[in-house]
Structures are given as C-alpha cells and as structure tokens.
Amino acid sequence: MSEPASISTGIAARYATAVFELAKEGKAVKKLEGDIDTLTSAMADSGDFNALIHSPVYSRDEQAAAITAISKKAGLTDLMSNTLTLMAEKRRLFVLPQLVKALRDVIAEDKGEVTAEVTTAKALTKTQSDKLAKTLKARMGKDVTINATVDESLIGGLIVKVGSKMIDTSIRSKLASLQNAMKEVG
C-alpha cells in the first residue's frame, strides 16, 4: 500500500471508530447505515460532490458550508452531518471514500458479517448470489454480504475476495496459467 493511501486509511479508520461508537451509544447504527448508503450514491452519481471533497480549491469555510447544505438536503443524521462538517474544517474530506468503507467494515464486524467482493463475467442471478452466500457462510462461519461487480474480460467463472483470501476460477486466469505452462515447455 502506498504511503498516502495508508495515511488516508488511518485517518478514515479513526473517524469511523469514533462515529460508530457514537452511533452505537445512541442506538442509531441503522440510521448510520442509511447515511453510508446516501454518501455512497452521492459519490457515485455526482461529479460536483466528488470535486468538493477532493479539490483543494475550496476553502475550509466553503467546504463546511457546502457540506452542511448537502447534509440537510440529503437528510443525513446530525452525527454524520457534524462529522462531515468537522472533516471539512480540518481539511479531511478527501478521506470520505475510505471513511465510508471503514464504517461498512466496522458495522459488518459488529454484526458478525463479512463482505465478499465477487467479480463475474456476467451478472449473478438472485439464486446464484444466494447459493454463493450460503456456500461462503458455511466456509467462513459468518454471514456473508456479496458485493458483486461484472468484468466481461473474465470470459467465464468468477473471482471471490473475502478479507485476505482470494479464489480465482475465471477462465481468463486459467488461460493465463495454461499459456505460462506452454511457455515453460518449449
């Protein structure tokens, strides 16, 4: 991991721990999950929002005022709104994507869940997704939430990442290993 990325992750982890503990104390973890979903879609859908959190052009006050307005419009809880405003005042909004991920991880860990990053050649059906989750639960001993993405370059099969473990059954990787074996032969 590069140094700036690890610094961002460290900052985000500290904020995530504090926000989660406050939400748990106030019995507002469910509302916090709603805030996380709202922020995730805002980062995915709005270039202006991403510019606001990443651009050094905006002053602390401009970022704080914009975040306060966005928080009210989006219906974020006071806890999340205050946290984002504090982050803006401290010039820490750039870690928001890492904060969202860290919060998801902390909440999942508290619930005894793990998230599996699944990449497939074509979209999984509900039945396939449920069957995969059931198989992973049996293997991991915890409830598994599947975060699925599609990468057609896999040709077929899937790649599953759970924590530090990775299972790659894609046809692309099998062809690559076959190609390497053929190079060694001759």
pLDDT 10s digits, 108-130:
889 888 888 999 999 999 999 99
CA distances from 116 to 11, 77, 145 (A): 24, 28, 6
pLDDT of residue 147: 87
Q: Please count the structural domains in the chain.
A: 2
Q: Which residues contact 84 (CB under 8 A, 6 or more apart)?
A: 67, 71, 76, 93, 96
Q: How many other CB atoms sit within 10 Å of the CB of residue 139?
A: 13
Q: Are strands 113-120 and 165-168 parallel, antiparallel or unpaired?
A: unpaired
pLDDT in tens, 82-118: 999 999 999 999 999 999 999 998 998 898 888 889 9
pLDDT of residue 1: 46
Write down which residue in 109, 136, 165 finishes a domain. Answer: 109
Quick one: CA torsion of 91, 92, 97, 98, rounded to 10 degrees?
Answer: 160
Relative orientation angle of helices 3-25 and 29-45, to the nearest 10 degrees: 140
Q: In terms of domains, do 121 and 97 share one?
A: no
CATH number of the domain encompassing residue 173: 3.40.30
Q: In terms of domains, do 11 and 43 share one?
A: yes
Q: In terms of domains, do 148 and 170 share one?
A: yes
pLDDT of residue 135: 92
Q: In terms of domains, do 105 and 138 share one?
A: no
Positions of the chain with pLDDT lower than 70, given as ranges: 1-5, 186
Check residue 112 and report its DSSP letter.
T
- Residue corresponding to tokens 């032969």: 185
Cα–Cα distance between 45 and 133 in angstroms, integer? Answer: 28
Q: In terms of domains, do 105 and 127 share one?
A: no
Q: In terms of domains, do 33 and 104 share one?
A: yes
Q: In terms of domains, do 20 and 97 share one?
A: yes
Q: In terms of domains, do 15 and 41 share one?
A: yes
Q: In terms of domains, do 15 and 94 share one?
A: yes
Write down which residue in 81, 109, 137 finishes a domain. Answer: 109
Please tell me the pTM assigned to this model.
0.70
CATH number of the domain encompassing residue 34: 1.10.520.20
Q: In terms of domains, do 131 and 102 share one?
A: no
Rounded mean pLDDT of the chain? 90
Q: In terms of domains, do 22 and 66 share one?
A: yes
Q: In terms of domains, do 73 and 101 share one?
A: yes
Its domain, for residue 134, covers 112-185
Write down which residue in 109, 135, 161 finishes a domain. Answer: 109
pLDDT of residue 55: 87
pLDDT of residue 5: 65
